[in-house]
A and B are shown apart, each in its own frame.
Chain A
Amino acid sequence: MLVSIRWLSRHIDLTGLSPEQICEDLTLSTAEVEGLEPFAPHLSDVRVGHVLERNAHPDADKLSVCHVDIGGEDALTIVCGAPNVSSGQKVAVAPIGTVLPGDFKIKKSKIRGVASQGMICSVRELELGEDHDGIWVLDENAEVGASVSQALGLEDFVIEIDNKSLTHRPDLWGHRGIAGELAAIYSRPLKPLNVELPDCGNGAAFPVQIDTSACSRYLALPIDGARAEPSPDWLRFLLLAVGQRPIDQIVDVSNFVMLDLGQPNHTFDRQKISSGVNVRMARDEERLFTLDGEERSLQASDLLICSGDEPIALAGIMGGQNSKVGEDTSALLLEVATFDPVIVRRTSARLALRTDSSARFEKSLDPTLPLKALGHFVQILRSFQPKIQFPGPLTDAGEWVDPAHRLTLRTERVHAALGKALDEQEMEDILRRLGFGVQSSATGFSVDVPSARSTKDITIERDLIEEIGRIHRYHNIPEQALRAEIAPPKPDLRRNMVRQIQDRLAGGARFREALSYSFVADESLERLGLLGEPYVQVVNPAAQGMDKVRRSVLPSLLPGLEANRRLREDIRLFEIGKGYHPEQANDRGEPLECHQVGLVWAGCPPDKSARFDASRFHQLQGVITDLLDHLQVESIQWRPSTAPPAWAHPAKTLEVYVEGQEEPLGLVTELDPGLCSKLGLSDDLRSDVAASELSIDALLGAPKFEGRYRPIPRFPGIKVDVAVALKEETPAAAVEAAIRESGKGLVADIELFDLYRGENLGESRKSLAYHVLLQSASKTLTEKDERKFLKRFEQAITQQGGELRNG
């Protein structure tokens, strides 16, 4: 909301207070000030000039050459194109060097051969109105040479207050409310406001019928003889300062009253609503052209002002075209009412029609305010147009209750909540300055809350404590340490595990942690083959096709690979995050939440000479194995996945699980071979991509081994290398089993170090080579033990159709 300091000065004497000081004090006691700007700062460079002489331009019919005194030694010669300029006028002159709105700099120039030393301005050029028929003719008493803003008393500053910080304060949506805050802050009185009602004629009262509880009060006052003339400058400039476009006296006074007291109001052309006002809820499918020219389709939840049965306004939001006040209107009906905040809010939200009026009604306005606002309106309009008449009495319809109420405020509670023992006298003083009625009681005070603060804002004792605290100023409250017994914190298993995972992956495995958005683009899901899954979806996504909340972490990581691959040969990323499964919702409708770690490792495919296990799939499996070992997960096993995700390689997907448990901990896979090019990882970005997902929930539940010391072997072991050639389909696990079997308990370690396929082995055969460590806890092994082992192993391998290739 924009607040003009000059406007505030109509309500309170601000002498001696700088705009900056006022902003600071409002911020510390009332609401957040977001900005402070001078109003029309260019007006301080524009001077009041006196047109001494006006002559026709020698070479141009429509131009004139003026001699204008702006208080300097010599009068300026200015070429002017406006038809209304004439000698003797006081005008606004922008001398050379002045910068006008739109970054328009006045320069020395020759116009059709005559040098012009400035510009005589129109209101439009000064952004003070629309009128561009001619120059702005100033008051004849304006002091020549003074700045226009000074001469006309237009110096003003505009404060911008954050609307959010006024959500709970319907009383602050007008200048008088803000002035009231300053009155409390500075202990200065508010100036009286003339809201006297006019004497009305003896005509019939204007009929108003209210058929709904959504309108608690409706004031209607007929006014005759009003004219839609331009408003005087003081009103125009105040409206301009707060960003309102001046229109004519009727519209301007209506806006002024709203911005002054916070009470919206509306004027109808009474000729167009001769059958009386009826306030009712709309019927479905009913339609109304609102003042902005839009046809609105209504619902039974909308509140209407009707003439007879015909809608003429959307209550509290916007008037209708059919009852609009026009230039020739002279018979007005002034409406000042109280409408239900929820109904106004819902309708304005549904129609996306937020107006200054709806913003105020939805905050719950004081039902006693309309009468003051109506008086205010009448007093101001009559000051411009003394001849307006009030043919009939004021209609005051509706059933409303004054919300003013009384609260008990216990001194002890103020102390307890603020943590400072305030003086009772100060409490009482603060409350009185804020307009509360205060009587002492045994425990503290009995406080009368005025109606303006009663609709929503001040409802409980704690609200009064806030009033005292904010005017006392919170920074005057000393700090105090919390005191409580503190037990050592309980171990936080989940967070500990998350940290262990993060540290292991970022440390040893040298992965980078990423954090991603929870929304995944349809386009990405489509590519990953995941679009058909059930998702939590938002109805108002940030962008089209971004409405789905991820089920797992990897779909967030995969689409970004291409951009990173353009810059890096090797990418290792992981993310710890959540996914949601709506099909597994609980009885409160909350979707199942899954905590996951997702990893991707992508980069240039390894070249032919690389070791057999250089592929990222193998490497990632190694990372996961190491991680699970680090987390001390017991008895890890791997098995091919029977149901790999759509984006995973259908054959090369391994699930990792705890021996004997059905539910896997996670998986390691290569990307589906068809997916790489869809993700942009083809041609020069051709990549070897491995990915893994682990469930943190499952890891937390998995059995853990205890890290125990094992004695260092006392007897040296023997390292034996074995290489076997066998059929392609024989799994490595069978060879490992044969090694262990043949070692008769002496095999302490096995490491596969080569996997080889070649012509010399024959079709569909491969060679596997292992380092084997034989070791005994009770003796030093000899060559004899080695020979026995090799003999048994050769037999076992031969049975499987393989052959030992050693030496």
Chain B
Amino acid sequence: MVDLRNAAAIVGIHEHVTRYAPDKSELQIQGESVIKALEDAGLTKNDVEGLFTASSSIRNSGLNLADYLNMYPKYVDNTTVGGGSFEFHLSHALTAIAAGRINCAVITYSSLARSGGVSVGTGGVGRYGHPRLDPSPDSFEEIYGLTTVGLYAMIAQRHMHLFGTTSEQLAEVAVATRKHASMNPEALFRTPITVADVVNARVISSPLHLLDCCVITDGGGAVVVASPEVARNCRQTPVWVLGAGEAVAHQGAGQRDLIYIAAKQSHQPAFEMAGVTHKDIDMAMIYDSFTITVVETLEDLGFCEKGEGGQFVSGGRIQIGGELPINTDGGGLSSNHPGMRGIFLLLEATRQLRHQFEGTPRQVPNCRLALCHGTGGALGSRHSGGTVILGRD
């Protein structure tokens, strides 16, 4: 394969920090994010050749966004594979830039899940009347009352059965991310919580409690990706895309062992491309739709053995100062989750690699290599997994 290491860098970022924006349109949040991210990079509208976006609510998202921004990109990608779509976008932008098709791309996302009253996790298929189900797979699934929480809860249940994982171990993930959220002024929930708080919260779908589940917010953001030539003249320290891998996992016609998730397939290509090992990774952004998502992802990424994730996340190992700090912005569990959180993984990893929090407790010391893994869809039915490895010089 062509060596893609250092072929593209993240040169600009912006998080639209709103958690509640009832008077904005989703396209406005994307537009404002793109403008600010380009400002951050020191680039302008005319520099952008590629447009990458995903949405669960905007129809023809790439087309409508180009229209809103009055742009004529020559490379458009609205790959939509759930919340981790943006790790796929970064992977695709890397390829497009390395191939010389484009020199600069923006990736953007927004959602008004909170002000729109969307029950992301517990809405089920139809809150207001029943939509016509697709003949398959929906007609074999939605008739049984699936919820997003439920599809993760089923994997948590099986994980507990096979490996003895406990609710207290899952709670450690929520406790760690809340601790990190307490250092993020933009986080939705900032008051520290204990393991007891999590396991005593009401059960939403057994064995997952309320605090095992991500928050629901509005929000959005943008990432500017550029070739080395463009990156050289940008304002910020370039954050190189060193490796990328993508995968899907599904029922396998009824035969797949769903305890293994897409991260098991996507991590190896990313590590191989980057030429680094797990021990080299200074921090990780792990999609945390639910606490079980993190445990499963850390295992299948290879940070620990299968079944040992519950132990791995305990004892402060995933907190800043621990062996592998994760989700240092407070994650989806405490900071924000507008429905597709993958872009925020890229934003926080970039901040950490820029050493933006130097001199404060939020900074991961000597952060040179970060891994982001986005999960989209649901572990219990079908989902995507995108791994990217980022680094600074």
Q: Please determine whether chains A and B interact with each other in the same assembly.
A: no
